[in-house]
């Protein structure tokens, strides 16, 4: 669908005002409207100037939401932000500001819940399944082992 630059600006401004957006998402939207590269660049610059578009603010919101609602760890959040072409320095800065206790609490909750639903033949299999699950959510191995020790008990290195 072909839009004029002013119509596209109005639509994308409304799109950005509903939730935090990153430049990558906005560009995808603009590409669908068959705008030239120059028009897209002018629209993005205007959105930045008028504070509709702010990568740092987007990352902070994204990180907070993914930890609180999706129960993701740093690795998965970082991966998803890199897919959206967010600069590494912004990602590292925002992840560095995280409260580690909030991440630990999130990991503890998902592991306790998952532990109740796992069907395993023995402790080794149970721990392995829990570790795999937590790693797939983006938590580090050290963090997982430390949390599992608190939930299940001794997670001997011999298991891994």
Local structure of 17: helix, strand or coil:
helix
Count of alpha carbons within 13 angstroms of residue 5, beta-carbon side: 12
Residues 86-114 have pLDDT tens digits of 999 999 999 999 888 889 999 999 999 99
Q: Residues 9-62: pLDDT tens digits?
A: 999 999 999 999 999 999 999 999 988 899 999 999 999 999 999 999 999 999
Reported pTM: 0.87
Domain regions of the chain by residue span:
5-49, 55-96, 100-159
Crossing angle of the two packed helices 88-96 and 74-83, in degrees rounded to 10: 150
For residue 38, count other CB atoms closer than 10 A to its CB. 9
């Amino acid at each position: 669908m072909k839009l004029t630059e002013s119509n596209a600006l109005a639509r994308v401004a409304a799109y950005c005002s509903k939730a935090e957006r990153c430049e990558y998402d906005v560009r995808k939207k603009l590409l669908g409207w068959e705008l030239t590269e120059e028009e897209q660049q002018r629209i993005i610059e205007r959105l930045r100037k008028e504070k509709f578009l702010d990568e740092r603010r987007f990352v902070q919101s994204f990180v907070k939401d993914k930890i609180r609602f999706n129960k993701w760890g740093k690795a998965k959040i970082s991966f998803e932000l890199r897919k959206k072409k967010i600069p590494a320095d912004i990602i590292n800065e925002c992840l560095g500001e995280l409260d580690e206790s909030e991440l630990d609490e999130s990991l503890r909750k998902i592991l306790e819940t998952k532990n109740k639903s796992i069907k395993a033949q023995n402790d080794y299999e149970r721990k392995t399944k829990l570790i795999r699950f937590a790693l797939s959510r983006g938590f580090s191995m050290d963090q997982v082992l430390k949390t599992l020790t608190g939930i299940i008990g001794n997670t001997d290195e011999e298991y891994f």
